[in-house]
Structure 1
Amino acid sequence: MKRSLILSLSAPVVFILSACAPEHATVSPVQTQAVATSVNTQLSHTDWPKNEWWKAYNDPQLDSLVAKALNDAPDMQIARQRITLAEAQAKAAMAADGPQIDFSADAERQKMSAEGLMGPFAITDPAAGTTGPWYTNGTFGLTAGWDLDLWGKNRDQVEARIGKVNAQKAELEQTRQLLASSVARLYWDWQTQAAVGDVLAEIKREQENIIHADRELYQHGITSSVEGVETDINASKTDEQLAEVNGKMKAVEARLAALTQSPTMKLSRHALPATEASLPTTLGYELLARRPDLQEAHWYIEASMSDVEAARAAFYPDINLMAFLQQDALHLSDLFRSSAQQMGVTAGLTLPIFDSGRLNANLDIAQAQNNLSVANYNKAVVDAVNQVARTASEVETLTAKNQQQQQVEKDAARVVALAQARFSAGIIAGSRVSEAKIPALKEHIAGIMLKGQYVDATLQLTSALGGGYHHG
């Protein structure tokens, strides 16, 4: 008896499921590649460190520029509004998954047809309560509905929306990192050019000393006018270099003003950061998990997977519960009587059987979107690995070059010290000291440029690692 009861109850369920539209998706899933699987992106966006790496430079001027860019830049405003939109869409999806209760009220003035179903109401019969043919029908009451979502379609759609919210938050973090990196790179480029300009001004002064000494020798008939021509040409070249440096500084100031939404830009000098002896030893895949762009790509995969599950759940029947409690009357004077009350409960089932391939097309679209998200993630990881390897190699190379250049500058300084000692002993003229200083100052410029390149490379590596390799 029990067995026959179970069979009788399960038979309708089996029939319902077997009668569903057949699923035959044509798009095959794409898997993450070997390099991508090495990166663990399960780090929640709330666990990202407060990577304000620019504060490690201890430069309040840089801190102020970055803060202003992050607060006022249009890119940040766009990213914040995308988050707001994604959160609103997620709330809408959540609301659609719960029960709904509506209140409605309407009044309708209508003329009854004497030849239709309501024909008796088209005549005037006081005994029957009819005053036809015109009537004012009134209705008001509550209506409730609830999609039971037995197969999780609505829940999967909610998960997809939540995944997109997290992806937009990651995009905001990526925008933040790119803006901070751009401001910092421009700022230290300006400081590099300013330092080069100071040394060029020193070279110009030494060249003027040599020119002045040559003119005095010529005036006393000791040398010819031809001997000072080369120094004059070099001085003109120095003027050109100074003009080029000033032009670069103004261009950087204009770009910083645009990034920070500042009408004017007045920067003060700050010494370039010192070069470190070596890179941190932990430049592994685990740090890539802190890259916002990889987090964004990961969350888009999660969202698209939920969309695929929702598309699959659409093949199964929907079961809806509805109920109503209303007052309805053909005469408004009777609308509030207890006899005008009506109520009911409805259980509805919607079973897709034949839809001309719409459900399968939607499933293929969802699967293709998921494949695209996986492919984008694979590419993002490969690009990230290559970027880190390239920038780390560049930092190492520039570190070695800076160390070698420091030795060159020390050797050039010894030449200057020797010339200074000979001048103090009265062996050579003061112009010879200036001639010894100029090569040393040019080597100093080369050192400044190398240090500026090193700082820029470390900033690129910081960005490649999603906000700084100094995080513990």
Structure 2
Amino acid sequence: MKRSFLLALTTPLVFTLAACAPQHPTITAIKTQPVAAGVNAHLNRADWPKSAWWKDYNDPLLNSLVAKALGDAPDMAIARQRITLAEAQAKAAMAADGPEIDFSADVERQKMSAEGLMGPFALTDPAAGTTGPWYTNGTFGLTAGWDLDLWGKNRDRVAARIGKVNAQKAELEQTRQLLATSVARLYWEWQTQAAIYGVLSDIRQEQNNIISADKQLYQHGIASSVQGVETDIDAGKTEERMADAAGKMKAIEARLQALTNTASVTLTRRELPAVEASLPTTLGYELLARRPDLQEARWYIEASMNDVDAARAAFYPDVNLMAFLQQDALHLSDLFRHSAQQMGVTGGFTLPIFDSGRLNAQLDIAQAQNNLSVADYNKAVVDAVNQVARTASEVETLTRKSQQHQRVERDAARVVALAQARFSAGLIAGSRVSEAKIPALQEKIAGLTLKEQYLDATLQLTSALGGGYRQG
């Protein structure tokens, strides 16, 4: 009896599933590359760099600029609104998976046709309960429905929406890191130009000393006018460089105003941070996996995979439960009587059998979107690996060059000290001390440029490693 009962119960289900529209997807799924899989295996295991890495510079002005950019920049506002939209769409998908109860009420005034099916009601016959041809019909009550989602189609759609919410959160963090990096790079570039401007002012002062001394020598017939002209030309070039540095500083201030969404930015001079080797001993996948753009791409893959599952579930039958409890009467005076009550329960069953290929087309679209997400992710990982390798190599190279240039600056300083000693001993004129100082100051400018390049490279490396992002 049990076997016969099970056979009788399962046979209709087997035939039902066999009658479903056939699946014949034409697009093959692709996989993540090995290097991408390596990144996935090390998500959220690193402690460097820190999330608020810009605070390590201990610069209150830089901190305030970054905070202003992260709070008021239009890009951040757009990213936040995308999260809000994705969350609302996820809530809508969740609500679609649950039962629904509605209350409705309506009143209708209608005239019955004497020639139609309801013709007897067009007559006036109180004994028969007809007062035609006009009636005021009233209805009110509750209706309920529930899609049982036996195959998980709605649940997959909810999971896809949640994946997109997580992707938008990662996009917000990516925007945050890009803004913070841009502000920090511009800030230290301004500090470099300000420092160069100061050194150029010192060079201009020394050149003025030389020009003054040459004029005195020329007036006494000791020197020719050619030497004075050459010094004047050099002074003119220095003034050009000062004007160029001042122009760059103004341009940087304008860009910072745009990034921080403020009317004006007031910057003050401070020393550039020292060049030091602060990188980890290895730059492995555990650091690369901290990049929010890779996290974003990975969540889009998850979402698209759930869309594929939902597209597959659409091939199977839908089962819906519906019920109603209403009061319905042809006369409003009878609407609240017990005899006017009506109720019912309906079990709906929808089976796709032939749809001219629509479901297969939707499945192909979902699979193609998933493949596109995987391909984008693979490319993003490869680009990230190359970016980290390039920027890390640049940081190491600039570290060595800066250390070597420090020795050059020390040697130039010794030349200046020797000239100063000879001047103090009365062996040379003061203008010769200025001539010795100018090359040393030029080397100082070269050192500032190298230091700024090093700072910029470290900032790019921090950004390439995700800026300490951790998935929330």
SS at 1:117's partner residue? Answer: coil
- 1:22-70 Cα distance to aligned partner (Å, 9 max, x none): 000001001111211110267479x999711111100110111111111
Partner of 2:181: 181
Structure 2 CA distance, aligned partners of 1:44 and 1:100? Answer: 41
Partner of 2:337: 337
Alpha-carbon offset, residue 115 of structure 1: 2.3
SS at 1:21's partner residue? Answer: coil
Partner of 2:354: 354
Task: Confirm or deny: 8 A CA contact 1:278 1:399 kept in the other structure.
Answer: no
Structure 2 CA distance, aligned partners of 1:67 and 1:298? Answer: 28
Query: Counterpart amino acid of 1:293?
Result: D
SS at 1:79's partner residue? Answer: helix
- 1:348-382 Cα distance to aligned partner (Å, 9 max, x none): 10000000000000000000000000000000000
Partner of 1:118: 118
Partner of 1:292: 292
Partner of 1:96: 96
SS at 1:321's partner residue? Answer: strand
Task: Within 5 Å, give how 1:426-465 maps onto structure 2.
Answer: 426-465=426-465
Alpha-carbon offset, residue 226 of structure 1: 1.9
Structure 1 CA distance, aligned partners of 2:435 and 2:324? Answer: 100
Task: Confirm or deny: 8 A CA contact 2:48 2:287 kept in the other structure.
Answer: no
- 1:250-292 Cα distance to aligned partner (Å, 9 max, x none): 1001100111111112110111111113522131111112100
Task: Confirm or deny: 8 A CA contact 1:48 1:290 kept in the other structure.
Answer: no
Residue 168 in structure 1 maps to residue 168 in structure 2? yes
- 1:402-426 Cα distance to aligned partner (Å, 9 max, x none): 0000000011111111111111111
Partner of 1:21: 21
Query: Counterpart amino acid of 1:27?
Result: I
Task: Confirm or deny: 8 A CA contact 1:41 1:295 kept in the other structure.
Answer: no
Partner of 1:236: 236
Aligned residues: 468
Structure 2 CA distance, aligned partners of 1:356 and 1:300? Answer: 30
Task: Within 5 Å, give how 1:410-429 maps onto structure 2.
Answer: 410-429=410-429
Residue 10 in structure 1 maps to residue 26 in structure 2? no
Give the stretch that moved more between structures: 167-176 or 106-115: 106-115
Task: Within 5 Å, give how 1:293-442 maps onto structure 2.
Answer: 293-442=293-442
Query: Counterpart amino acid of 2:27?
Result: V
Task: Confirm or deny: 8 A CA contact 1:112 1:132 kept in the other structure.
Answer: yes
Task: Confirm or deny: 8 A CA contact 1:106 1:139 kept in the other structure.
Answer: yes
Structure 2 CA distance, aligned partners of 1:356 and 1:21? Answer: 9
Task: Confirm or deny: 8 A CA contact 2:277 2:399 kept in the other structure.
Answer: yes
SS at 1:266's partner residue? Answer: coil
Partner of 2:265: 265
TM-score, length basis structure 2: 0.97
- 1:92-139 Cα distance to aligned partner (Å, 9 max, x none): 000000000000001111111222221211111111111001111100
Give the stretch that moved more between structures: 20-29 or 265-274: 265-274
Structure 2 CA distance, aligned partners of 1:25 and 1:434? Answer: 81
Structure 1 CA distance, aligned partners of 2:38 and 2:342? Answer: 64
Structure 1 CA distance, aligned partners of 2:416 and 2:460? Answer: 37
Q: Check 1:450–1:144 CA distance in 2 against 1; reply closer, same or farther (3 A cut).
A: same
- 1:144-195 Cα distance to aligned partner (Å, 9 max, x none): 0000000000000000000000000000000000000001000000000000
Q: Check 1:249–1:365 CA distance in 2 against 1; reply closer, same or farther (3 A cut).
A: same
Give the stretch that moved more between structures: 90-99 or 108-117: 108-117
Structure 2 CA distance, aligned partners of 1:103 and 1:352? Answer: 31
Query: Counterpart amino acid of 1:275?
Result: V
Structure 1 CA distance, aligned partners of 2:300 and 2:58? Answer: 37
Root mean square deviation, CA, Å? 1.5
Task: Confirm or deny: 8 A CA contact 1:279 1:396 kept in the other structure.
Answer: no
TM-score, length basis structure 1: 0.97
Partner of 1:87: 87
Task: Confirm or deny: 8 A CA contact 1:323 1:346 kept in the other structure.
Answer: yes
Alpha-carbon offset, residue 307 of structure 1: 0.1
Query: Counterpart amino acid of 2:387?
Result: Q
- 1:430-463 Cα distance to aligned partner (Å, 9 max, x none): 1111111000000000000000000000000000
Structure 2 CA distance, aligned partners of 1:226 and 1:293? Answer: 61
Task: Within 5 Å, give how 1:189-200 maps onto structure 2.
Answer: 189-200=189-200
Q: Check 1:331–1:42 CA distance in 2 against 1; reply closer, same or farther (3 A cut).
A: farther
SS at 1:39's partner residue? Answer: helix
Query: Counterpart amino acid of 1:25?
Result: P
- 1:319-351 Cα distance to aligned partner (Å, 9 max, x none): 000000000000000000111000010001000
Q: Check 1:233–1:88 CA distance in 2 against 1; reply closer, same or farther (3 A cut).
A: same
Task: Confirm or deny: 8 A CA contact 1:253 1:265 kept in the other structure.
Answer: yes
Query: Counterpart amino acid of 2:75?
Result: D
Query: Counterpart amino acid of 1:157?
Result: R
- Identity across the alignment (%): 81
Structure 1 CA distance, aligned partners of 2:268 and 2:105? Answer: 70
SS at 1:144's partner residue? Answer: strand
- 1:281-316 Cα distance to aligned partner (Å, 9 max, x none): 131111112100000000000000000000000000
